[in-house]
Structure 1
Amino acid sequence: MSQLHNAFTLFVSLLVEAMPFLLLGVILSSVLLVCVDERQLIQRLPKNPVLGAFMGSCIGFLFPVCECGNVPVARRFMLQGIPTSVAVGFLLSAPTLNPVVIWSTWIAFRGQPEIVLYRVLGSLAIATIVGTVFSVESDPKKLLQPKLAQRLKFVQQVNENQAQAANTSPLLQSGTFFLGAQQTVPLETVATQMPAPAATQDRSFKTLFGALVNNISVELRELGAVLIFGSAIAALIQVFVPREVVLSLGQGTITSIVAMMLLAAIVSICSTVDSFFALSFASTFTTGSLLAFLIFGPMIDIKAVGLMLSIFKPRFILYFFLLAGQLTFLFALGYSYFL
């Protein structure tokens, strides 16, 4: 019973720690939905996959969200038709490359400023590389969960219809439409309840605020359930898998990096406070392994994987996990031997 009590305590602590950042991410996502014209945003993004991934990674500086809050924002990016390289770059980099996390890392390791520098550079480089790799898939709908892929398909159809409407009469557009007093609404949008506030003609405060509140409630229902499930799994693993099993691997340069990466995935601690957790291992683990923990944890942990499943197919997440893990390992190994 004591183990179950400890598991429940950890579950509640993970949930309490993550929920505010999930809420922040959902609010940012909803603001993007109602205030940003995705067509103008897409036009301003670089077409080159490498530059797109790099820009997506740098956007993380503007969003103070951890690995729980970045998922709804990345999902909104995908729904707006933003290239996969940009969305993936943001998804990986935002939990680390934001002012809150950089500041907390500096406070924890003020005596080792190189850890702050290489955490930022390593996260930026890995996010850019992974985003570039996944930009090879030209159709993002193949990477998404069926429900989200369907939403993206209808959003693209709505954007195409609106582009045609700029040059033709609404009565001459193809498809079936409901005719309202102010605008025409595609039947597919009504049937799937797809919101498209960025393209709506009514930009009054009441309409925008209603769309904002509605989208916040919808995304909290969807992602909140996934967060609860992921937090429960993380708590159970922390209690029933002895941490000594993982730490016993950290006796050499290579095994210590692997051990800290495994620990980062299991512990699922928020990126805003993970530097203080890593600081407790500074006397027994190498600096390279600490960097592996600080870089890999915000990208891939059990809690974040659960949220990612609300966007991507499991196969994509597996590739995502393997590629990010290999790059993190190589970066930490290079630091250990050459720096």
Structure 2
Amino acid sequence: MNQLHNAFTLFVSLLVEAMPFLLLGVILSSVLLVWVDERKLIKVLPKNPLLGAFMGSCIGFIFPVCECGNVPVARRFLMQGIPTSVAVGFLLAAPTLNPVVIWSTWIAFRGQPEIVLFRILGSLAIATIVGTVFSVQPDPKVLLQPRLSQRLKYLQEVAQPQTTAVKSPLLQTGTFFLGASPQGNMPLEAVATQMPETIVPAPQKTTKEKFAALLLNISQELRELGAVLIFGSAIAALIQVFVPREVVLSLGQGTVTSIIAMMLLAAIVSICSTVDSFFALSFASTFTTGSLLAFLIFGPMIDIKAVGLMLSIFKPRFILYFFMLAGQLTFILALGYSYFA
């Protein structure tokens, strides 16, 4: 009973810690939807896969979201037609390459500025490499869950070709396509299956209408992603309580085993990237610097909460490849740092 109480306490703490950042990500994605013309955004992005992945990795400086908030923003990017390499680069790098996380890491490791530097450079390099790898698949629809794939297919094949002279009618929420027909809002299920013959472009909205659309989209995405976040936080809390901490710590004696142990710990504890540097600092006396670096790089990219949120967007096979590539590159980077730095 005491363990269940501890698990519930951890569950609530994880949820309270993560929910504000999920809300921030949802708000940013909704702002992109309502106020940003996606055609202009796509025009300024480089077409080269490597440069596109690099640019996507650097967008985190503009959108300071953690691993809970980057998923809805990445989803919006994909729905806007942004290349896969850009979205994947952002998905990996945004939780680390933003001013809030960089500042918190500097505060925690001000006596070891090399950790701050290598965390930034390592995250940027891994995100760029993984984003470039996934650019081999130029069509993101095969990576997405069927529901999102239908949305994107509709935008590409029906909506956009008929609205080249007007503002592109993006999906206005996660469930409805607002103003897509003379009758008003159209459920996406109907849009994907019926494919109406005529699509009336959405008129220019007033400021009041934009704020209404903003609030509607925020509430819809919170319902979709919040449920997944709750489920992921519950799993993370149960693992932290019922898997003895000594089991993980006992693996941290060697160079290789300590890196693997800290990567596993990062995935299990699912600590927000804005505060994970202080958690890593508590292990500085028992773990190698390379393993601490692996924790700081790998944790924001892949943890239980993030995987749960990604499953609402991507197919499991994509997440598996995503996980394996990021994990291998993080391990190589941390091992190289341990032997050569």
Question: TM-score when scaled to structure 1?
Answer: 0.91
Contact 1:130 1:323 in 2 (8 A): yes
Partner of 1:6: 6
Q: Per the alignment, do residues 178 and 284 of structure 1 end up closer, same or farther by CA in structure 2, a change over 3 Å counting?
A: closer
| Structure 2 unaligned regions, length at least 5 | 168-179, 196-200
Which residue does 1:314 correspond to in 2? 316
Question: Is the Cα contact below 8 Å between 2:23 and 2:69 reproduced in 1?
Answer: yes
How has the CA–CA distance of structure 1 residues 105 and 143 changed in structure 2, closer, same or farther, with 3 Å as cutoff? same
Structure 2-normalised TM-score?
Answer: 0.90
Deviations 1:289-321 (A, max 9, x none): 000000000000001100011110011001100
1:37 is displaced (CA, Å) by 1.1
Structure 1 stretch displaced more, 130-139 or 152-161: 152-161
Equivalent-residue separation in structure 2 for 1:179 and 1:311 (angstroms):
30
Contact 2:145–2:313, Cα closer than 8 Å, also in 1? yes
Q: What CA distance in whole angstroms lies between the structure 1 residues aligned with 2:189 and 2:258?
A: 54
Encode CA deviations 1:226-265: one digit per residue, 9 max, x unaligned. 0000000000111111121111111111110000000000
Q: Which residue of 2 aligns with 1:94?
A: 94
What is residue 161 of structure 1 aligned with on the other side?
Answer: 162
Matches within 5 A, 1:139-178: 139-156=139-156, 157-163=158-164, 178=181
Q: How many residues align?
A: 321
Q: Aligned to 1:200, what secondary structure does the other structure show?
A: coil
Match for residue 202 of structure 1? 204
- Give the 3 Å change call, closer, same or farther, for CA 238–207 of structure 1 in structure 2: same
What is the CA distance between 1:187 and its match in structure 2?
Answer: 7.4
SS in 1 for 2:91: helix
Distance in 2, Cα, partners of 1:280 & 1:190: 49
CA distance in 2, matches of 1:79, 1:160: 15
Residues in 1 aligned to 2:186 and 2:27: alpha-carbon distance in whole angstroms: 28
> Which SS does the other structure have where 2:286 is aligned?
coil
8 Å CA contact 1:67, 1:271 repeated in 2: yes
RMSD over aligned CA atoms reads 1.9
CA contact (8 A) 1:154 1:188 kept: no
1:164 Cα shift? 7.1
* Whole-angstrom distance in 2 between the partners of 1:32 and 1:63: 11
Q: Quick check: 1:158–1:186 contact (8 Å CA) kept in 2?
A: no
Q: 2:189 & 2:293 partners in 1: Cα distance?
A: 49
Is 1:40 matched up with 2:40?
A: yes
Change beyond 3 A, Cα 1:164–1:264: same
Structure 1: distance between partners of 2:88 and 2:224: 20
Is 1:31 the counterpart of 2:31? The answer is: yes
Work out whether residues 84 and 134 of structure 1, in 8 Å CA contact, stay in contact via their aligned partners in 2.
yes
Q: Percent identity?
A: 81
Matched residues in 2 for 1:144 and 1:200: separation? 26
Deviation, structure 1 residue 165: 7.5
The secondary structure found in structure 1 opposite 2:320 is helix
Paired residue for 1:18?
Answer: 18
Q: Which amino acid aligns with 1:122?
A: G
Paired with 1:69 and 1:220, the residues of 2 have a C-alpha distance of 11
What secondary structure sits across from 1:46 in the alignment? Answer: coil
Q: 1:204 & 1:118 partners in 2: Cα distance?
A: 46
Partner of 2:274: 272
Report the alpha carbon displacement of residue 147 of structure 1 after superposing the two structures with TM: 0.6
The 1-side partners of 2:21 and 2:187 are apart by 33
**Does the 8 A contact of 2:225 with 2:312 survive in 1?**
yes
> How far apart are residue 188 of structure 1 and its match?
8.4
1:48-97: per-residue Cα shift (whole Å, max 9, x none)?
Answer: 00000000000011111110011100000011010000000000000000
Residue of structure 1 in register with 2:190 after alignment: 191
C-alpha contact 2:151 2:188 (8 A) present in aligned 1: no
Which stretch shifts more, 200-209 or 50-59? 200-209
User: Is the 1:25–1:65 Cα contact (8 Å) retained in structure 2?
Assistant: yes
The alpha carbon displacement at 1:277 in A equals: 0.3
SS at match of 1:163: coil
Which residue matches 1:173?
Answer: none
Structure 1 gaps of 5+ residues are 167-176
CA-to-aligned-CA distance 1:173-193 (integer Å, 9 cap, x gap): xxxx8447xxxx897869349
Correspondence list, 1:1-339, <5 A: 1-156=1-156, 157-163=158-164, 178-179=181-182, 191-192=190-191, 200-339=202-341
